[in-house]
Structure 1
Amino acid sequence: MTMKIGDLARETGVSPRLLRYYEEQGLLVPLRTPSGHRRYGEDAPEVVAHIRALLTAGLSTHVIRDVLPCVEGPGPSFHQCTAGTLRTQLAGLDGRIAGLMGAREALAGLLASTGHRQS
């Protein structure tokens, strides 16, 4: 059984425009009818849920494209093949957080030099 883009949008709560973007990024692959209309397989809602979960975790669409083949189930569940990529992404996030904390401390120091207390 296949579904149209509008049906997939209703079922997942994701706009057709965003579904087309996922397709452009290579994250979601529809079938095409002879007239060129998109048709999505019955696993498409689960794939969209995986994409949304990975985006929420801060992963880029490029990284998601690499790890998506290693994701399954409604959880989602990740195979071991994603561990290295996820570890690298986590380390990058930790580095950005440390950089932001350093910038915050510097800014708080500048604010303190004005005689105002920070909140």
Structure 2
Amino acid sequence: MEVFINIQRFSALTNLSSHTIRYYEKIGVLKHIARNSSGHRFFTTKDIEWIQFVKRLKEMGMPLDNIKLYADLREQGESTAEQRKRLLQEHVVILEQRIALEALHLKKIKEKILYYENIIDVPKI
């Protein structure tokens, strides 16, 4: 049996503001959200799983337009699996480039720290 939760609980469980949740629904990242007779939104565990994936994509730097495209493709079903895979593969390339750049930055700052440690540790005569 599917459990339905209100927007406040969904917000707490996903660590997203109610405003962000409503915005994601408005732009189509969240789709087919159940509503009661008063119009209040109710979310399912599948909605939680989906929004956790969306958050991960956002945290990895995927543009919201690409996440929206992914959501649209997802809604169309398995026939779009190749397109969704390609979208994720393209983002992996971007992530790998960013990780390589960050690794270079980390290496350079560690070299600078070592430089200062050598200066500081040199005995003064």
Percent pairwise identity: 19
Cα displacement (A) at 1:96: 0.4
In structure 2, the CA distance between the partners of 1:17 and 1:28, relative to structure 1 (3 Å rule), is same
Aligned counterpart, 1:96: 98
In structure 2, the CA distance between the partners of 1:31 and 1:103, relative to structure 1 (3 Å rule), is same
Question: Superposed, which structure 2 residues align to 1:78-97 within 5 Å?
Answer: 79-97=81-99
TM-score (norm 2): 0.60
Relative to its length, the structure with more helix (as a share) is 2
**What stretches of structure 2 of length at least 5 have no aligned partner?**
120-125
Answer whether contact 1:8 1:45 (CA < 8 A) is retained. Answer: no
Larger radius of gyration: 2
Cα displacement (A) at 1:19: 1.2
Alignment size in residue pairs: 105
TM-score (norm 1): 0.62
**What stretches of structure 1 of length at least 5 have no aligned partner?**
1-5, 73-77
1:70 to 70, 73, 84: 73
Aligned counterpart, 2:53: 53
Q: Match for 2:6: what amino acid?
A: D
Answer whether contact 1:67 1:82 (CA < 8 A) is retained. Answer: yes
Q: Secondary structure at the match of 1:71?
A: helix
Aligned-residue Cα RMSD (Å) equals: 3.6
